[in-house]
Chain A
Amino acid sequence: MSREQLAVQQARKSFLTGRSRPLAFRVQQLKNLLRFISERRRDISDAVKRDVGKSEHATELFETLGLEGEIKLAIDRMAEWAAPRPVEKTLVTLSDEVYIQPEPLGVVLIIGAWNYPWAVTLQPLVGAIAAGNAAVIKPSEVSSHSSQVMENLLPQYLDKDLYPVVAGGVLETQELLKQRFDHIFYTGSSTVGKLVMEAAADHLTPVTLELGGKSPCYIDNNCDLTVACRRITWGKFVNCGQTCIAPDYILCEPSIQSRVVGEIKKSIKEFYTDNPKTFADYGRIINQQHYKRIMTLMEGSTVAVGGDSDESQCYIAPTVLKDVKVESKVMKEEIFGPLLPIVTVSGVDEAIQFINGREKPLVVYVFSHNSKLIKRVIAETSSGAFLANDCLVHFTVSSLPFGGVGNSGMGCYHGQHGFDQLSHMRSCLIKRLNMEGVNSMRYPPHTAKKLSWARFLLLKQVNVSRLHRGATLAMLVALAVLVVKRFLRSG
C-alpha cells in the first residue's frame, strides 16, 4: 500500500470513530492551530522567505493575519453554524420538526498552492475542521520549504491521524487523487483544475476549485488617479504579482495612459525605493521555470517602467508595459508576475466588450468616481468578485464568499462559507405516528374529494412565525376532526 493510500485510509478510519464530530474537539483542534501559528511564527516566515522572498512583515500581513482571523471567527461562531437551521412548513407538517442539519462530509482532500502556501492551504482546513471532517493536506511542492515545515510541525499540534500532511510532487498528487474522498478542495491553475475534476468524477466526488484567470482593471478618466494608481500598484506588486486576485492588466483611455504610468512609477518608488532589488519588502519569483515564463511574456511589448531582471536571484523589477496589443504574449495567459500591461480602449463600452470576450476572471476591478459607470460594469460583466476603487481587500471580509465562476472556479469559502462548503446540509422532517386522520386523504382508493384536500394540505405553505402556537394546534385539531369525520367514518 502506498504512503498516500495509508494516510487516506487512516484518516477515514479515524473519521469513522466519530471523534472529529463533537464541537469541543473541533474547537480544541482550531485552538491548537492558532497556537501553532503564534509559536512557530519564525519557522513559518523563514520558510516563506526562502520560498518567495517575502519579508517577515509581509508574511504576517498576507498569510497569517487572515488565517488567525478565520480561526478565531470559526471558534467563535461554530456552535451557531453547526446548529439545526429550521425552515418553513406546509399545513400538514405544521406540528412536525422541519430543519436542515449541517453534517460533516467525511474525508476532505485539500490541495494547496505555492503563492501563499500557508493562507491558501490552511484556510480551507479551518472550514474542514470546523465542519467536523477529517482532512488530508497536500501542500504545494513548489513552495518546498513551507511544505517541509508543514509536514514536520503540523502533526505536533493537530491530530495526525485525522489531519495528515502528505507532501510530494505530481506523482504523489496523482496517487492521492486515485483514492476516494468526500470532497476535494483545490487551489491552483485552471489546467490542473480540469484534471482534478476529471479524477474526482470516478468517485463522484464534489469539488471546490479556486482557480485563476486574468483579472482586468479599468481606470476611468473620472477618478483620483494618484490614489487609484497607488492602490493598484500595491495590489499588483504584493508578492511580486503572484496573487490569484492581483489586477492582471489595466484598461484605460489613451489620453490618461502616460499619467497612469507616471503615478504608478511614483508609487513603486514610494513603496519599494529606487532599487527594489535590495529592498526587503519586495519579493522574488518562486522558481526558474516561472521566471523564464514571465520574462518570455514581456517579449514584444514596450517597457514603460522597470523591466530589469536578474536570473540568479529570480528577480524581476516592478514593470509596467504600455500600448500593449491584444495579440501580444502578455495578454495570452495569466501573468502571475510583476508585469503590468496597459491596454488602451476608447471607453467603458469597449472595456466591457473586451472583458466579456474573455473567460470569466476571479475579479473585475474598476476605478471611478462615477457610481453609474461602476454599476454598469457590475451589471454587464461576470466574475468571481467585483471590487471598485481598490484591490485585493475583499479577501479580508470573511462574510463575503471567496471564489470564482466559469474558468476561474466553482464553489467558495471564507468564514461561514467555508463551513457550509465542507458540510452536507441534510434535510430533516421529524414526524410522529399520530394524527393519522390528517394523512388519510392521500391514501388510495383515490377520490376527487380526497384529491382536493390533499392538494390543499400537502402543498400549501404556511408562514409559521405568524401563527400563534395555540392557534396552530387548535387549527390542526379542528382539521383532524373534520377529516376523520369525512373519510374514516363515511364508508
Chain B
Amino acid sequence: METQSQAVVDKLRAAFRSGVTLPEQFRRSQLTQLMSMIKDNEEQILEALHKDLAKPKFEAVLSEVDIVINDLHYALANLKSWMQPEYVSKNLATKFDDCFVRREPLGVVLIIGAWNYPLHLVLLPMIGAIAAGNCVVLKPSEVSPATDRVVAELVPKYLSQECYAVVSGGAEETKALLRNRFDHIFYTGSQSVARSILQTAAVHLTPVTLELGGKCPCVIYGQVDVAAAARRLIWSKFFNAGQSCVAPDYVLCSPATRDALLPAVKKSLEDFYGKEPQASPDFSRIVSDRHWTRLVELLKKTSGRIVVEGESNQKDKYIAPTVVVDVSEDDILMKEEIFGPILPILTIDSLEQGIDFINQREKPLALYVFSNESSVVNTVLENTSSGGFCSNDGILHMTLPGLPFGGVGASGWGSYHGRWGFETFTHRRAVMLRGWALERLNGLRYPPYADDRLSWLRWTASPKSSCSIL
C-alpha cells in the first residue's frame, strides 16, 4: 500500500522536475480538458451524485457541476494575468533595479476531498493547483463511493496521467499517502482529522490549507421581512439536506421573531418540498447509515420541542426537514456541527446576548444575519469573527470567485476559489535584479562604518524617498 502511493508520488515528482507543467499552454490545455471531462460526462456525474446523496439534479448542477465549470472559465480567462510577474514599488537605492514577485508552482500537491460535495471539493482546489503549475494527487472521499469511482475513472482519461493521479481508499490508504512528502496539502473535512494531518505535515514542513467546519450561527433580529428571511433561511439550511459546511446550523432570535418566523418557515417548507418532503425529488438524503443514525439520535436526545416534521426512514436514509424550538445552550443539538436537516431555534433577549453567545464558541466558517436594519447587521459584523459573512441570505457568498472561501480559527486555515485557489498553490518568490553600476552608492554600506554614511543610507533606503526627478 505504501509502496503503491510512493510510486505514484515519485512519478508525479519526476514529471514536475521535467518542467512539463510550467508553460501556460500546458496549464490551459489541462484546464480545458477538465472542462470537457465534466461537460462530456454530466449525466454520469449527476447519476453518481444522486447515488451517493440523492442529490436533486438542480442542486447537483448548481453546486457541483456549474460551480466547477464557472471557476474553470474564470481561471482560463485570468490565467495569463495571474502568471505575470508583479512589479513592486522600490526605494531610491533600488530605483534602477528590477524588483518583482514571481508566481511559481510548489511541486506535487495533495488534495483530500469530502463527501458532501464530493465533486467540487476535489475539483475546485484542483483548478487552482493546475493553474498554478503543480502536479496533483487527488484523494476523493470514500464515503461518497459512486463519485469517487467516477472521478477515478474520468480524470486519467482526460488529464495527463504523468502529472495528475487519483488515489482512492479509506483511512489506511490515506495514512499511507500522507507518509509521502508533498509540497502542499489541501484538506476539507473535520477538525480531528485535520489535527493529525497537521502533525504529519510538520514532519516535512509541508504547508497546508484546512477547510473545516463548525456551527454557523444565523442571527435574525430587529425589523425583518419574515417571509423573505424564512425563504432564504430554509433554502440555505435544507440545501443538500443540511449537509453543507456553510449551512446555517442554528438560529438566534427573540421570542417574538421566533413566533413570527415559524409560520413563514412552515409555509416555505411546504412551498419548496410539498406536504410530503420524502416524495419530493428536490430534497436530498443523508449520505450514510452512520450519519443517519447520528442525526436520529440527536432528535431522540434533544430536550427541545420539535415543531416541524421530525420523521425519518432508515432504509431511505431520509430525515424530514425538522425545526426544534426551546433549545437551551447545552442541549445535545448544540454540542457539535449538526450537518443535517435539523434546525434548532434558540431565543435571545438582546443582540448583545446573541453576540456573546457566538463569541463564546469557536469561530465558525460562516456567520449569517437577517435584518432590515443595517445597524443590526453592522453590529454583528463588527463584534464577531468568522471565515465569511453574509447578511440576509445564506451560502451565496461562496459563489463569488472574487471572495476567498475559507475559515479562521477552528473553522480552518487558508482559502480558495478563483484567484485565491491559484495563490494557495503558488510560491510568491521575491526577485531582485541589481545592476552593476552605482557601486559608489553601494559604498555607503560597506565597512568601515561611519555616521555620515549612515544618514545617506537612511534616506536612500526609506520607502518614502521617491525622488521626482527619477
Chain A positions within 8 Å of B, measured between CB atoms, are 16, 55, 57-58, 60-61, 65-66, 69, 72-73, 76, 87-90, 92-93, 98, 100-101, 103, 105-106, 182, 190, 193-195, 197-198, 200-202, 204, 206, 209, 211, 224, 227, 230-231, 234, 270-272, 279-282, 356, 369, 371, 374, 378-380, 382-390, 393-394, 396-402, 405-407, 409-410, 412, 415, 424-434, 436, 439, 442-446, 450-451, 454-455, 458-461
- Residue B280 is within 8 A (CB to CB) of chain A in the complex: yes
Interface of B, secondary structure class, is mixed
Which of A105, A209, A389, A405 has the most B CB atoms < 10 Å from its CB?
A405
CA distance A109 to B58 in the complex (A): 47
Q: Which residues of A contact B359 (CB under 8 A)?
A: 16
Given A194-B203, A378-B102, A442-B235, answer yes or no on A388-B461 (Cβ-Cβ < 8 Å).
no
Assess the B448–A281 pair: CB atoms within 8 A: yes
Assess the B66–A455 pair: CB atoms within 8 A: yes
Given A386-B432, A433-B225, answer yes or no on A72-B280 (Cβ-Cβ < 8 Å).
no
Per-residue CB proximity of B178-222 to A under 8 Å, as 1/0?
A: 000001000000010011001101110101001010000000000
Q: Which residues of B contact A211 (CB under 8 A)?
A: 205
Who on chain B is nearest to A69 by CB?
A: B462
CA distance A305 to B52 in the complex (A): 71
* Min CB–CB distance A448 → chain B (angstroms): 9
Which of A92, A202, A430 has the most B CB atoms < 10 Å from its CB?
A430
* Min CB–CB distance B192 → chain A (angstroms): 10
Q: Which residues of A contact B414 (CB under 8 A)?
A: 206
Contacting residue for B389 out of A69, A73, A429, CB 8 A: A429
* Min CB–CB distance B133 → chain A (angstroms): 11
Assess the A231–B442 pair: CB atoms within 8 A: yes
Q: Which of B29-59 contact A (CB under 8 A)?
A: 56-58
Assess the A76–B464 pair: CB atoms within 8 A: yes
Q: What 5 pairs between A and B have smallest CB-CB spacing?
A: A87-B402, A57-B449, A201-B198, A446-B58, A444-B282
Who on chain B is nearest to A408 by CB?
A: B205
- Residue B312 is within 8 A (CB to CB) of chain A in the complex: no
Assess the B439–A406 pair: CB atoms within 8 A: no
Assess the B445–A61 pair: CB atoms within 8 A: yes
Chain B positions within 8 Å of A, measured between CB atoms, are 17, 19, 22, 56-58, 61-62, 66-67, 70, 74, 88-91, 93-94, 99, 101-102, 104, 106-107, 183, 191, 194-195, 198-199, 201-203, 205, 207, 210, 212, 224-225, 228-229, 231-232, 235, 271-274, 280-283, 359, 370, 372, 377, 381, 385-393, 396-397, 399-405, 408-410, 413-415, 427-436, 439, 442, 445-451, 454, 457-458, 461-464
Contacting residue for B449 out of A58, A439, A459, CB 8 A: A58
* Min CB–CB distance A194 → chain B (angstroms): 5
Assess the A407–B447 pair: CB atoms within 8 A: no
CA distance A6 to B413 in the complex (A): 27
* Min CB–CB distance A8 → chain B (angstroms): 16
Given A87-B402, A378-B102, A426-B408, answer yes or no on A204-B413 (Cβ-Cβ < 8 Å).
yes
Who on chain B is nearest to A445 by CB?
A: B282
Q: Which residues of B contact A460 (CB under 8 A)?
A: 70
Assess the A397–B387 pair: CB atoms within 8 A: no
Assess the B447–A439 pair: CB atoms within 8 A: no
CA distance A385 to B70 in the complex (A): 34
Given A388-B434, A393-B434, answer yes or no on A426-B385 (Cβ-Cβ < 8 Å).
yes
Assess the B282–A429 pair: CB atoms within 8 A: no
Q: Which residues of B contact A89 (CB under 8 A)?
A: 400, 402
Assess the A90–B229 pair: CB atoms within 8 A: no
Contacting residue for A401 out of B62, B101, B235, B282, CB 8 A: B101
Assess the B195–A201 pair: CB atoms within 8 A: yes
Can you sample 29 A-B contacts with CB below 8 Å? A61-B449, A100-B404, A101-B381, A105-B408, A197-B202, A197-B205, A200-B198, A201-B202, A202-B195, A204-B210, A204-B409, A230-B439, A230-B446, A282-B447, A379-B22, A386-B430, A397-B99, A401-B428, A406-B107, A410-B205, A427-B389, A432-B391, A433-B228, A433-B232, A436-B228, A436-B231, A444-B271, A451-B58, A458-B66
Contacting residue for B61 out of A402, A432, A439, A451, CB 8 A: A451
Assess the A69–B430 pair: CB atoms within 8 A: no
Assess the B280–A445 pair: CB atoms within 8 A: yes
Q: Which residues of A contact B67 (CB under 8 A)?
A: 459
Given A100-B403, A444-B58, answer yes or no on A405-B396 (Cβ-Cβ < 8 Å).
no
Contacting residue for A382 out of B104, B381, B408, CB 8 A: B104
* Min CB–CB distance A48 → chain B (angstroms): 14
* Min CB–CB distance B328 → chain A (angstroms): 24
Assess the A271–B446 pair: CB atoms within 8 A: yes
Contacting residue for B99 out of A224, A378, A400, CB 8 A: A400
Assess the A281–B447 pair: CB atoms within 8 A: yes
Assess the B432–A410 pair: CB atoms within 8 A: no
Assess the A87–B400 pair: CB atoms within 8 A: yes
Given A193-B205, A430-B377, A436-B228, answer yes or no on A234-B446 (Cβ-Cβ < 8 Å).
yes
Q: Which residues of B contact A388 (CB under 8 A)?
A: 432-434
Which of B91, B391, B447 has the most A CB atoms < 10 Å from its CB?
B447
Q: Which residues of A contact B283 (CB under 8 A)?
A: 444
Assess the A103–B195 pair: CB atoms within 8 A: no
Given A401-B101, A406-B205, A436-B228, answer yes or no on A389-B433 (Cβ-Cβ < 8 Å).
yes
CA distance A383 to B449 in the complex (A): 31
Q: Which residues of A contact B210 (CB under 8 A)?
A: 204
Contacting residue for A461 out of B74, B207, B450, CB 8 A: B74
Assess the A427–B404 pair: CB atoms within 8 A: yes
Assess the B56–A393 pair: CB atoms within 8 A: no
Given A98-B402, A396-B93, answer yes or no on A72-B231 (Cβ-Cβ < 8 Å).
no
* Min CB–CB distance B399 → chain A (angstroms): 6
Who on chain A is nearest to B372 by CB?
A: A433
* Min CB–CB distance A317 → chain B (angstroms): 15
Assess the B224–A433 pair: CB atoms within 8 A: yes
Given A87-B403, A234-B445, answer yes or no on A429-B397 (Cβ-Cβ < 8 Å).
yes
Assess the B447–A271 pair: CB atoms within 8 A: yes
Q: Which residues of B contact A282 (CB under 8 A)?
A: 447
Given A100-B403, A202-B195, answer yes or no on A429-B396 (Cβ-Cβ < 8 Å).
yes
Contacting residue for A444 out of B191, B280, B389, CB 8 A: B280
Assess the A397–B432 pair: CB atoms within 8 A: yes
* Min CB–CB distance B194 → chain A (angstroms): 6
CA distance A154 to B58 in the complex (A): 60
